[in-house]
Chain A
Amino acid sequence: MSTRLAAVATGGTIAIRGGTVVDSTGSRRADVVVGDGRVTAVGPDSGDVPHADRTLDASGCIVAPGLVDLHVHLRQPGREDAETIDTGARGAALGGFTAVVAMPNTDPPMDCAAVVREVQELGAGACCDVYPTAAITVGRRGAELAPMAELARLGVRIFTDDGDGVQDAQVMRRALEYAGGLAHLAGGRRIALAQHCEVAELSAGGHMHEGAWSSRLGLGGQPSEAEELMVMRDIALARLTGSRVHFQHLSTAGSVAMVRAAKEAGLPVTAEATPHHFTLTDACCASYDTVFKVHPPLRPDDDVAAIRAGLADGTIDAIATDHAPHTSTDKERPFDSAPPGMLGLETAVGLALTELDLPIEQVVALMSWRPAAIAAIDDLHGRPIAPTEPANLCVIDPQETWTVSGAAMASPSRNTPYEGRTLRGRVRHTLLAGEPVVIDGEPQR
């Protein structure tokens, strides 16, 4: 992606004035000037930084490194009616993200060099940096390994069969062992295998969380244990192989407790959680509205509380959206046949600031430099805001209140579960390699 730095090094200098800079070094009042794709000056008073060709107002705002989403479905190639890399990246920029990690369950799947290259090429012109993952197994079928070395050479740093978990423990073990020998292809960084934890036999026929609500509604349920058994297994496999396991979209109290214990034991595991798993419960399904159908499913209050606690104490490293666009036609199918998933890119910041009782510095950490480290893109994203650093930035107004509208989003899909909800906190500007891709909440291209 470093080619972009040169490609957009036009348009003069921009000053972001009046905000509070929040990065991995702390918080301070400062103006920020960018030019040639990089931060050129940072200073507490306007007199301290040089004049710029253009000024973006950040008064009352947080100026942060661009956000990083470890988990998005951009649907291209295959379902361009639901989302494209172009529209998905625009939504990402509107949500303050300068980098997204694209899941491999496209059609065809990202399990070979040709498809990964296609996604990289389409992403090169997008409103944010798009980093494709690749499948762990050929066709995401859980049997033979994808050409992981070849794909690592292309830049893939996370492998996952997301949408499905790798069911066979031996296949997962071999994949972890093989990935452990690929660091030389990744600048010395360890490749991570990300797991969608779901034991298929236990979740089969389940369309929501198994519990009081599924029993009452007559819908098949997925027990929490379907997720927890695979979390348990993969912690054991991380111990066995020494390779990195990243747990995707944790949703249960039991999963959080196991990851907490694994980290205390020093095992190489990381975890993410989605905004919907810390804001919504399985009771939402009572309307039978499929906008609330998602995998892993929405869980009861106790699990929501455990996810919040895991985010607060650092057990969960990152907030990831699992942005999953689906057309209205697909979502209007009956609950048992509608596809799972919900939009997430444009509501993540607002939900984190409205719903999590965390200092804004911690929210930004969960959404920027910590996921950047997991994705091994922390040379470009989640950087400290200091001269010579890449100018991937977002400006967040933590006080702005706004009402969620699926129709107003960049995605051609509208499956937000927060329709009509009022959130506090919104992205005002986003800069990608120095280029303002969002100004005052409006996409610039």
Chain B
Amino acid sequence: MSPSGRDRPRQHLLSINDLVRPDLERILDLTESFAEVSERAIPRVPALRGKTVAWLFYEDSTRTRLSFEAAAKQLSADTLNFTVRSSSVNKGESVRDTVQTIDAMGIDAIVVRHSCAGVPHRVGNWIDASVINAGDGRHEHPTQALLDLYTARTHLGDLDGARVAIVGDILHSRVARSDVLAFAAMGAQVTLVAPRPLLPSSLDGWPVTVTHDFDDILGEIDICYLLRMQLERQASALVPSLREFRAEYGLNSWRADRLAEGALIMHPGPMNRGVEIDGDVADRPNAVITEQVANGVAVRMAVLFLLLGSGLDQAAGQKEIAA
């Protein structure tokens, strides 16, 4: 990601794959500055005054949308909210027509979530504004990965060499795809822990190792990242039952007790307590799940600022924040 504005080539945030480690570090450093803004009595800077950010969510989302909205408001950007239920989308309008209509209103960025992979990529070809992927099908959820990196870095420092286990329904998870790329880019070692039907059919080119034996690695990981288990998966024969999934792959107290000292427990939310994570485990001190949510706002401020801000080097960023 590099400086952007109407007078410069437009920039998108579509996939973690488009970013290299220095990009990620820049975003995380800027996030740190914005986290400080959020803590002010009046958490608002004029960095994006006059800019307009639109949301286009084809899929239900509460936390991601609210997080982006809070981020935009704290940067003094104007916002336009298109939700599926209230717009003409329900009348059969195509995605292209919808985004071109929104684009014609003079927006600077559009935050897109869709149940199908690739929709934000296609939107990027159709309009002038910057596109931010807020989750596309099973593909990616880049800002979730950025806030995960930020949260992990806050506790562990440099992530180079950190050992990360991502556990559960990898196949259907956009969070897993983004997190694998993001943690690996930072030099971490990623292990996927899942039954075979919940893994993608091919992991060619994925910077990961795989195990089906969760217990075997408990003492060797720095981060235990649990994914939300969709409750209907047993209907498609992906697992025999939620009971069996919990027994083999859930983070219960017994397993949580065997995690290494200082290991973090993370989850993108919303949690199924009692399925992938036991209720009391989610409330342990080393579970940083609510922190992840809190950090989401600052990360999204950093992303919006980098894509839309006028002066985008670190110094200019600091100056804008101070203003």
- Show the binding face of A for B, using Cβ within 8 Å: 210-212, 214-221, 223, 287-289, 329, 332-337
Residues in A with CB closer than 8 Å to B200 are: 214-216
Q: When the two chains form their complex, are residues A333 and B94 in contact, meaning their CB atoms are under 8 A apart?
A: yes
Residues in A with CB closer than 8 Å to B116 are: 334-337
A sample of 15 cross-chain residue pairs with beta-carbon separation below 8 angstroms, ordered by A number, consists of: A211-B202, A212-B205, A214-B202, A215-B202, A215-B203, A215-B204, A215-B206, A216-B206, A217-B139, A218-B136, A218-B177, A221-B201, A288-B119, A333-B95, A336-B137
Out of B94, B121, B174, which one reaches A288, CB within 8 Å? B121
Q: B258: CB under 8 A from chain A?
A: no
0/1 string, B185-206, CB within 8 A of A gives 1: 0000000000000001111111
Q: When the two chains form their complex, are residues B122 and A288 in contact, meaning their CB atoms are under 8 A apart?
A: yes
Report the minimal beta-carbon distance from B197 to chain A, rounded to whole angstroms: 13
Residues in B with CB closer than 8 Å to A329 are: 94
0/1 string, B131-175, CB within 8 A of A gives 1: 000001111100000000000000000000000000000000010
- Show the binding face of B for A, using Cβ within 8 Å: 94-96, 114-119, 121-122, 136-140, 174, 177, 200-206
Residues in A with CB closer than 8 Å to B94 are: 329, 332-333
Interface centre among B117, B121, B203 (most CB of A within 10 A): B117
Q: With contacts A216-B205, A220-B138, A332-B94 known, what are 15 further pairs, Cβ within 8 A?
A: A212-B204, A215-B201, A215-B202, A216-B206, A218-B136, A218-B174, A219-B137, A219-B138, A288-B117, A288-B118, A329-B94, A332-B122, A334-B115, A334-B119, A334-B122
Query: Which residue in chain A gives the minimum CB-CB distance to B199?
Result: A215
A332-B95 contact given A217-B118, A218-B117, CB 8 Å threshold: yes
Alpha-carbon gap, A332 to B201, bound state (A): 27
Residues in B with CB closer than 8 Å to A223 are: 201
Residues in A with CB closer than 8 Å to B117 are: 217-219, 288, 335-336
A211-B201 contact given A332-B96, A333-B94, A334-B95, CB 8 Å threshold: yes
Alpha-carbon gap, A215 to B137, bound state (A): 12
Residues in A with CB closer than 8 Å to B121 are: 287-288
Q: When the two chains form their complex, are residues B118 and A210 in contact, meaning their CB atoms are under 8 A apart?
A: no
Q: When the two chains form their complex, are residues B138 and A218 in contact, meaning their CB atoms are under 8 A apart?
A: yes
Report the minimal beta-carbon distance from B110 to chain A, rounded to whole angstroms: 16
Alpha-carbon gap, A341 to B25, bound state (A): 43
Residues in A with CB closer than 8 Å to B118 are: 217-219, 288, 334-335
Report the minimal beta-carbon distance from B190 to chain A, rounded to whole angstroms: 15
Alpha-carbon gap, A166 to B205, bound state (A): 37
Alpha-carbon gap, A335 to B138, bound state (A): 12
Report the minimal beta-carbon distance from A424 to chain B, rounded to whole angstroms: 30
Query: Which residue in chain B gives the minimum CB-CB distance to A204?
Result: B236
Alpha-carbon gap, A217 to B138, bound state (A): 8
Interface centre among A221, A333, A334 (most CB of B within 10 A): A334
Query: Which residue in chain A gives the minimum CB-CB distance to B139?
Result: A218
Q: When the two chains form their complex, are residues B139 and A334 in contact, meaning their CB atoms are under 8 A apart?
A: no
Q: When the two chains form their complex, are residues B140 and A218 in contact, meaning their CB atoms are under 8 A apart?
A: yes
Alpha-carbon gap, A212 to B206, bound state (A): 9
Residues in B with CB closer than 8 Å to A221 are: 201
Alpha-carbon gap, A20 to B95, bound state (A): 52
Residues in B with CB closer than 8 Å to A216 are: 177, 200, 205-206
Interface centre among A212, A217, A333 (most CB of B within 10 A): A217
Alpha-carbon gap, A187 to B136, bound state (A): 56
Report the minimal beta-carbon distance from A164 to chain B, rounded to whole angstroms: 21
Residues in B with CB closer than 8 Å to A334 are: 95, 114-116, 118-119, 122
Alpha-carbon gap, A216 to B119, bound state (A): 15
Residues in A with CB closer than 8 Å to B203 are: 215
Q: When the two chains form their complex, are residues B201 and A210 in contact, meaning their CB atoms are under 8 A apart?
A: yes
Residues in B with CB closer than 8 Å to A289 are: 122
Query: Which residue in chain B gives the minimum CB-CB distance to A205?
Result: B236
Report the minimal beta-carbon distance from A90 to chain B, rounded to whole angstroms: 28
Alpha-carbon gap, A210 to B171, bound state (A): 12
Residues in A with CB closer than 8 Å to B139 are: 217-219
Alpha-carbon gap, A214 to B140, bound state (A): 13
Residues in B with CB closer than 8 Å to A332 are: 94-96, 122
Report the minimal beta-carbon distance from A205 to chain B, rounded to whole angstroms: 9
Residues in A with CB closer than 8 Å to B122 are: 288-289, 332, 334
Report the minimal beta-carbon distance from B218 to chain A, rounded to whole angstroms: 27
